[in-house]
């Protein structure tokens, strides 16, 4: 699944939620965020598809991790 196959509203809300949860994590006592915690909250709010969008966004866009060419 690519992000282009996902409803743009879902993509927008999932990404906004990710950013909000990251900021909340940075402001917490831990001073950081955990991807699994964020994905669980996104899944609860936006379902499985929203979680997939959030995961791709965190990994590719936020962390800059790309898949290796095979």
- Render pLDDT for 5-62 as a digit per residue (tens, 0 to 9): 668 889 999 999 999 999 999 999 989 999 999 999 999 999 999 999 999 999 999 9
| Confidence (pTM) | 0.80
The tokens 């990710």 sit on which residue? 18
pLDDT-based confidence at residue 70 (cuts at 50, 70, 90) = very low
Q: How many CB atoms lie within 10 A of CB 52?
A: 20
CA-based torsion, 27, 47, 59, 36: positive or negative: positive
Output the CA–CA distances (angstroms, integers) from residue 63 to 3, 32, 45, in the order listed. 17, 14, 23
pLDDT of residue 48: 95
Annotated domain spans of the chain: 3-62
Q: What local confidence, expressed as pLDDT, does residue 7 receive?
A: 85
């Amino acid at each position: 699944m690519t992000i282009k196959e996902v409803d743009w509203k879902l993509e927008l809300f999932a990404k906004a939620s990710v950013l909000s949860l990251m900021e909340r994590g940075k402001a917490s006592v831990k001073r950081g965020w955990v991807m699994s915690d964020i994905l669980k909250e996104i899944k609860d709010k936006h379902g499985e598809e929203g979680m997939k969008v959030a995961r791709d966004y965190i990994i590719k866009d936020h962390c800059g991790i790309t898949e290796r060419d095979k």
